[in-house]
Amino acid sequence: MTAAEMERMALEYFTLVARADRDGLLELMAPDLRWVVPRGAVEPFAGVHEGAAHIIDMMLGSVGAAFTPGSQKTVPATWTPGEDRIVLEARIEAEASDGRRYENEYAFFFEFRNGRIAEIREYVDTRTAAAFFGSA
C-alpha cells in the first residue's frame, strides 16, 4: 500500500467511528483485527482485543454512551508512514450529553494487511480518559 492509501484509510477509520458506521468499519478492517490499548485505560478497554466485530462493538459502544452524536472530531497532527504501517498523532475532541468537553492527545499505530487495517495500537493520556469516561 502507498502512504497516501494508508493515510486515507486511517482518516476514514476516524470518520466511520465518529458516524458509528459499523458496516463501514467492518469493510475497512481485517476480520482478525487486533486492538492494543494501554493497561492504564478504563476497563474493559485496557489490554489486547481480537476480532473486528467485537472490537467495533466495544469502540462504538463507548463512543455512543459517552459522546453527543456527531460531536466527535479527530484533529491529525503528525503522520509517519512506513512500509505497511502509519503512525498518527492526533487530538480527539467531543462533547458529552451533559455538556462536558473531551479533549485528549493520542498516538495511533495502524498496521495494514491485504488492503485492510489489521492492527491498531492506541496510546492515550489514560489519566485524562479515565477522568472523563469514569464519570460518563
How far apart CA 101 and CA 94 sit, in angstroms, is 6
The residue-averaged pLDDT of 1-10 equals 94
Distance CA 108, CA 123 (A): 6
Question: Which pLDDT does position 70 carry in this prediction?
Answer: 87
| pLDDT higher than 80, residue 18 | yes
pLDDT tier at 2 (50, 70, 90 boundaries)?
Answer: very high
Q: How far apart are the first and last CA of the chain?
A: 39
Integer Cα distance of 134 and 33 in angstroms? 26
Residue 106: pLDDT band by 50, 70, 90 thresholds? very high
Please report which confidence band the pLDDT of residue 27 belongs to, taking 50, 70 and 90 as the band edges: very high
Q: How many CB atoms lie within 10 A of CB 33?
A: 24
Nearest to 72 by CA among 98, 95, 48: 95
pTM: 0.90
